[in-house]
Amino acid sequence: MILLSTLMIAIMAIPAGAYTIYLKDGSRLIAKEKHRIEDGKAIIVLQNGTRTFIEASEIDVARTEKANLGDYGTALVLEDGLLVEAQIKPTQQKQQRLTDVASKPESGALTRPQSRRQATAAPNLSQPLSENGTVDLTTFPRAPYSEMEISAEATRFLRTLGVESVQMYQGSDSSRAFLEITTNSEAAVFRSLDAAADTLLHLLNRYPDRIQSLEILMFTSDRDRAGQFHLTREAAVALADNEVDTSEFFIQHVQF
């Protein structure tokens, strides 16, 4: 299990030459270089070298160009306890440990407040529950997500954000999808949470009234549990707009 005491959030500048692409639905992609347009498609090379594409019309051109002035992209920088985006120079780099954030009184980490969570429908009592009364996704039945179009789009979008090892199943009720993600480092946990937030907003924009939230279970490759979450629209907006630090979100919303 990835323990809270050993988790570290890397507040890193995007490597020199990286290119941040903003989409009109509010989500973003981090590319290795500026995309090129071919036949109405934006051809994108991700940081890991994977080539993908999206419709060029989905890109927020003005915001993308502004964010990439100087061709250095953007970075996540800690200011007054929150992660905010800033234009960067190639040499900019900063780290902060999650334990440092958790130790701050204003973070609320020591008491793990529940005020950010939205009320959810009562789970089926026949389903195994975790210690805090939520559905235990480790033993939850895996059934293919009922809407193949949404499942395919979610998987595709997550992979454009660098989340490669992901499966999508039916959630604990019809309005939820269940994502199982393999994460092998502390940084990957936070990266996957941010990617899931961007993906949920993308799905809500494209498929209104057909999906409402995501249930997320993260494992390491050794099948050690790395975190379980219920991601709502409100929480996704907070993460995508940097209204809440990803490390603080983890502490406040993790369900195990």
**What is the C-alpha to C-alpha distance for residues 215 and 174, in angstroms, rounded to an integer?**
12
Sign of CA dihedral 241, 170, 114, 219: negative
Give the model's pLDDT for residue 15: 52
pLDDT tens per residue across all 256 residues of the chain: 444 444 443 434 445 457 888 888 888 888 888 899 988 899 988 877 778 889 999 999 999 888 888 555 555 444 454 444 555 444 444 444 554 544 455 444 433 333 333 433 444 445 665 566 688 888 899 999 999 999 999 999 999 999 989 999 999 999 999 999 999 888 899 999 999 999 999 999 999 899 999 999 999 988 888 899 999 999 999 999 889 999 899 998 888 7
In angstroms, the Cα distances linking 180 to 66, 77, 170, 214, 253 are 35, 29, 11, 10, 17
* pTM listed for this prediction: 0.55
**What is the C-alpha to C-alpha distance for residues 37 and 181, in angstroms, rounded to an integer?**
31
Cβ-contact 73, 29 below 8 angstroms: no
Q: What angle do CA 158, 159, 160 make, to 5 degrees?
A: 90
